[in-house]
């Protein structure tokens, strides 16, 4: 995605996340999105989550549900 598209998306996501008390973070992006309330974070993949939870996680991608 180009910088303008990322900023347009951040402009929509940031205020919505703030409204519902959700802290939204980017994943190792090279853009400063703090003006939109989005802070830079680190990437966590499924295997890291499974390791921390000590159990497998099943993802149903067709309905966007993570269990």
Domain ranges for the chain, please list them.
Answer: 3-66
Report residues of the chain scoring pLDDT below 50: none
pLDDT at position 27: 77
Predicted pLDDT at 60:
59
Nearest Cα neighbor of 35 from 2, 1, 6, 11 is 11
Query: Among candidates 31, 20, 21, 19, which has minimal Cα distance to 9?
Result: 31
Question: How much is the pTM?
Answer: 0.55
Q: Write down the pLDDT at residue 11.
A: 92
What pLDDT was estimated at residue 63? 54
Rounded to whole angstroms, the Cα distance separating 44 from 37 reads: 20
27 forms beta bridges with: 41
Rounded to whole angstroms, the Cα distance separating 35 from 38 reads 7
């Amino acid at each position: 995605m180009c910088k303008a598209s990322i900023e347009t998306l951040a402009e929509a996501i940031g205020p919505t996340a703030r409204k519902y008390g959700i802290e939204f973070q980017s994943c190792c992006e090279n853009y400063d999105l703090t003006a939109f309330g989005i802070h830079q974070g680190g990437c966590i993949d499924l295997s890291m989550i499974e390791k921390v939870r000590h159990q497998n996680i099943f993802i149903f991608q067709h309905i966007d549900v993570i269990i």
